[in-house]
Structure 1
């Protein structure tokens, strides 16, 4: 079913060429990433987030870019590179705060913060975890 979904969503995005159509394709790749990551098909997960980012870039869509960044950071989590994933999340949050308004901004920042918390929880240095979570000053 997934290859058919991706083919149909890609065809629709190219024909319609609207931000909404490209976002549908980006979401299909997000689903592909999620399934691949859960089954530890790491090559497929990496390819899915690369294609997701490409789809988001076809028509300006800052919320789609935030979702794509969340999934890209997830690949860093899957491969154990938490620091790089956190850097990506921080940049994406700053971008979302600049480029989005209202509910879209709140949604983007929320999903990125959730990914950031998951990444921070995997850091080996627990003091760094507390710093990332904003808890460092409470313990002192």
Structure 2
């Protein structure tokens, strides 16, 4: 087991405990799959993450970090991310916080046509950058 993977698994387990979750693969796979919009991960994948045998890809790491209220860089790299490997200045942008339920309630109160616009915007923002530029060009008539 590589030291990097082992350290990641320790940070992941500690972050789960800090948020009141047992650091077990069953808990991790359930909570992760509730939040990840892509293909679900299986029990064995969560087990590998917690047992120091694997590190998730960046898109999955971002979801884990958001759920566990940590930065993806800290989960992945630990203190190296905070201090910077070469002493580089770290800039952390504070993410805005929203009352998700309130936003959802407002969305549900919108007329169907406006709900469609909101969905189109969200889907456009969630698309990979290469697809975003293609759809923008199509809409602009290019």
Q: TM-score range by the shorter chain?
A: under 0.3
Structure with max Cα Rg: 2
Higher relative contact order (CA 8 A, sep 6+): 2
TM-score, with structure 1 as normaliser: 0.26
Instruction: Judging by fraction of residues, say which structure has more helix.
Output: 1
